[in-house]
Structure formats: structure tokens, C-alpha cells
A = this chain, B = another copy of it.
Amino acid sequence: MNAELIFVGTELLLGNITNTNGVFLAQELANLGMPCYYQTIVGDNEERLSATIKQAVERSEVVILCGGLGPTEDDLTKETAAAVCGRKLVMDETVRAGIEEYLTTHGYKITENNFKQALMPEGATVVPNANGTAPGVIIETETSRVILLPGPPGEMIPMFKEHIRTYLDKLTPGTIVSQMVKVCGIGESLAETMAKDLIDGQKNPTIATYAKTGEVHFRVTAMAENEKEGLKLIKPVVKELKVRFGANIYSTDADTTLEKAVVDLLKENDLTVTTAESCTGGMLASRIVGIPGASDMFKEGVVTYSNKAKRKYLGVRKSTIVKYGAVSEQTAREMAKGGCDTTKSDACVGITGIAGPDGGTPEKPVGLVYIGVCVCGNTLVKEYRFSGNRTTIREAATSAALIQLRECLLSYFSEVTFGKDKKKK
């Protein structure tokens, strides 16, 4: 059963906003094992929207429209989709009462416009919206299902997760079972090579790879008669990935980020961490603080952008900076060790590097970064050479710092053998 996505909104056509809904829904369909061959963006124009929906219902069995369900004149999706499917719009009193309640409890003034959102195509299924006034709509015709979703991600995503995912899952034969395997500290191409035979060889389960800075995620997806059978298909593949990537796997949970895994590791072991950042300038601290409850293991951090600040906050020796430079193995080591000492933290990450665009030399080019990690007195420093612009270099250094911290924590707890590709990323 093929699906097709249509996004409605002139603001998308003008490039005013990025279509993040497109990424979310595409991933969801892929995860459901439902092929999607087209994504279209069309504006708030009845004629063009109508033509787009007509074409979609002719070539796809599931058509998901997103956006254009609001209360204004511009919002045409429901009216147009109903017309294409040959349905009249009728007032749905339950929806009308729900909108009234939603607006009243949220302190909004009700205008007659709002009740436009309570008009529903005859015979359609109304999908509740817990976060707004526009309900979702499912129109089933003889040959296709047309699903209308609100445009704001804060309304669409919860609605999809709560209602639409189950609805679509029932349409696909059998059940889709999937499992993430999140790998860090191994470059994308090496990771793909390491799993190539698994990726190429198998049809069910399939393995999809997603690369992000410093990380590669594998999603293993099986289609089966029921969940139990699906898990049986997935299990050996996940196991094989675990064997191959070992300690480089930081999580098998879809919602766990790298920083969450590191924060959890610290919390579980009752360790505190501090950050001493130069070129990343607070980016590492910010990723750690982004995790709710990080205050348990992160009390303070410093951005020591100047040499003087490196001395003042971290006790880096003047002679070290003079002899080896601010961007050096030695300075990174003293930053990490000094950060532990001055803050009485169990661990400290020191980062110093050249983010560019200026400041590079033939010996110390833009992209050269040293990261020192001290865990309970043991310090490890690594040299990295990143490419890209100032932003991508700083992001890569921040991810590398989290990965190196994780590695040092694991090494400290036990003798863990790490994969390859550690020195240079």
C-alpha cells in the first residue's frame, strides 16, 4: 500500500519555514513499511490544491495532507479534499462543543470563524486534536484513504503518534517492528562498511542508516504477522550489530540522545562533571544542560576563551601556553585536570582548538582541536582534525567531546575494548 504526502501552505512555497513535518512523516511511513513515492508542497490555492489531491488519490492508496485546517479564509484543505472525494461538509456538534471548550479554557475569544473548523466531510472519521482546535480528518473512499492533519508540528506530531500511526499500521499487512541501534565514535563510511553485508543482504528485516555529527544510527525494521514474530526476525540482526559495534553503541532507544546517554552514565555512577571550553564556547555545557535533571551531575562550567581565563579558572600554566600554544595537547590536558581540581568535580572535559575562519597556520590549521578528558585523576587527550566551517567544526568538536567523555567513563569503570577509527574523525 503506497502513501503520498502533500503539504499545504504558501509560507512553505516562499521558504518562510522549513518543512520539518516532511521529515517526521517520511520517517514514520518508512518505519511503518509503507512506501512513499512523492512529497508535494502546494500553496493555499483551491485550483492547484484540488489538482494535486486528484492526482494523488489516483496514484496512491493513502494520501496524507498536512496544513490548511485553520479557521481563516486561506485554509482550504478540508473543503478541497471533501470536494475531490465527493463529500458535503456538515456541522459536527461534538467537534463544535470541543472547540468552544478548548478556546474558553485557554482564554481565547471565540469568533464565528472558529466554527468553520467544526464542519466535517460527511461520513469522515474525526481525529481528536489535544493541542489545538483543528481536528484531524480521515476520509475513506473505495480506492483510497485521505488523511488531513493540522500544520503546526506541536499539534500534528502528537496526533500522528496517538491516532494515525495505529490507523496506518492496521492498513499494512502484518505488523512492523523496529529497533534502533545508535553508534558513536565511528565515522559514517566505516560504520556503513562494517554493516554493509547486513544492509545489502537482507530484505526482512531491513536496515536503514541515519548519519549525524559523530554518530550513525541503524534502524532495523521487520514486517511480520505479529509482534512476537517481528521481534524474532529483528533479534539476530540487532545482536550481530551489537557484536560488531560493541561499546560504540550508546543506546538502542529511539529517544535517547548521545548527551542523554552520557548524563545517565554519570548519574548512575554518582559522578559530577564540569566543562572547560575554548573554541566550542559553551556548546558542550549547553548540550548537557539540555537534558532535564542535568543539575544532579553538572554544577558549573567555564568558557575560557582567552589564555588568561584558562590560567585563572583552570590553573593552566603560563609556561605551558607559551611553550606549546593555547591549542595543544599539553594545554588540553591541563584544562581537563585543572577543571577537576578547581571545581572538585569527578570529571572534566577541556576543549581547545581553531574553529576558523582565521587563526590557522600550516602547523596548526583550522579544524585542529585537542580534547582532554579527566576522570577521577586519569586524563586522556586526543587530537582531532575536523573540516567544514566555524559552526560545523564547533559542532563536531562538541560531539567528539561527549564521545570521548563516554569512552573515558567506560574505560574507568571496566576494561572495555573500543572499535576502530578513534584517533581521527
Contacts and interface: CB of A to CB of B under 8 A. Distances in A.
Contact of A305 (B20, B37, B301, B357): B301
B23 A22 contact: no
Nearest to A295: B305
Interface of A: 12-20, 22-30, 36-43, 45, 48, 52, 208-210, 275, 277, 279-286, 288-290, 292-295, 298-306, 308-309, 312-313, 356-358, 390-391, 394
Contact of A394 (B36, B290, B304): B290
A308 to B, nearest CB: 7
A281 B286 contact: yes
A41 B38 contact: yes
A387 to B, nearest CB: 11
A12 B26 contact: yes
Copy count, this protein chain: 2
Contact of A283 (B29, B52, B282): B282
B279 A282 contact: no
Given A19-B22, A309-B300, A293 B41 contact: no
B13 A37 contact: yes
A300 B282 contact: no
Given A18-B19, A38-B42, 4 more contacts: A15-B24, A15-B25, A38-B48, A292-B356
A14 B30 contact: yes
A210 to B, nearest CB: 5
Given A18-B18, A18-B23, A290-B391, A305 B309 contact: no
A95 B404 CA distance: 43
A280 B42 CA distance: 38
A391 B279 CA distance: 22
A13 B36 contact: yes
A52 to B, nearest CB: 8
A281 B19 CA distance: 29
Contacts of A303: 275, 282, 285, 289, 300-303
Contacts of A391: 290
B18 A20 contact: yes
Contacts of A304: 300
Contacts of A18: 18-20, 22-23
Nearest to A389: B154
